[in-house]
Amino acid sequence: MSVFVDAVSWACLIAGGVFCVIGAVGLIRMPEFFTRIHAAGVTDTLGAGLILLGLMLQAGFTLVAVKLAMIGVLILFTSPTATHALAKAGLARGLKPLLAEDRSKPSNP
């Protein structure tokens, strides 16, 4: 493997790890339930995405890379679904989001 590809791959892996940690820090720093989900989103998307990309570059043009891409697509479809279910469950059980501004009222029947 060329040194260049290896370097890019490691840059992706390290950046992905850093974004995972940032997501975790956000999870702790945010004040309540709904805002914490937003912080976790960073880990879901950029963190996981960059790590997968880095691993794909390590694998090169092989079946392993294809499988990693499949994991990426799986995350792309499942993580918003899980996030939505979590947020909706919170709201349905009467958890009031801490809001700076509520623009949900006008068209509420």
Partner 1 sequence: MYTLSSILVLFVFWLLLSGNFTAFLIAAGAGSAIGVVLLARRMEVVDHEGHPIHLSWRLVTYWPWLFKEIAKSAWGVTKIILNPRLPISPTLVRVPTSQKSTVGVVTYANCITLTPGTISVEVKEGEILVHALTRESADGLLEGEMDRRVTRFEGRR
Instruction: Output 3 or 31, the one with its CB closest to partner 1.
Output: 31
DSSP-assigned letter for residue 96: P
| Subset of residues 67 to 96 that bind partner 1, contact rule: CB under 8 A | 67, 70, 76-77, 79-81, 83-84, 87-88, 91
Q: Alpha-carbon distance 82 to 45, whole Å? A: 13
CB of 1 to partner 1, least distance (A): 20
| HEC-encoded secondary structure of 13-41 | HHHHHHHHHHHHHHHHHCCCHHHHHHHHH
Q: Which pair of tokens denotes residue 52?
A: 């997968």
Q: Alpha-carbon distance 92 to 96, whole Å? A: 10
Does residue 22 interact with partner 1 by CB under 8 A? yes
106, 49 Cβ separation under 8 angstroms: no
**Of 8, 11, 17, 35, the one binding partner 1 by CB under 8 A:** 35
Does residue 17 interact with partner 1 by CB under 8 A? no
45, 20 Cβ separation under 8 angstroms: no
Does residue 104 interact with partner 1 by CB under 8 A? yes
Give the interface with partner 1 as residue ranges (CB under 8 A): 19, 22-23, 25-26, 29-31, 34-35, 37-39, 41-42, 44-46, 49, 63, 66-67, 70, 76-77, 79-81, 83-84, 87-88, 91, 97-104, 106-107
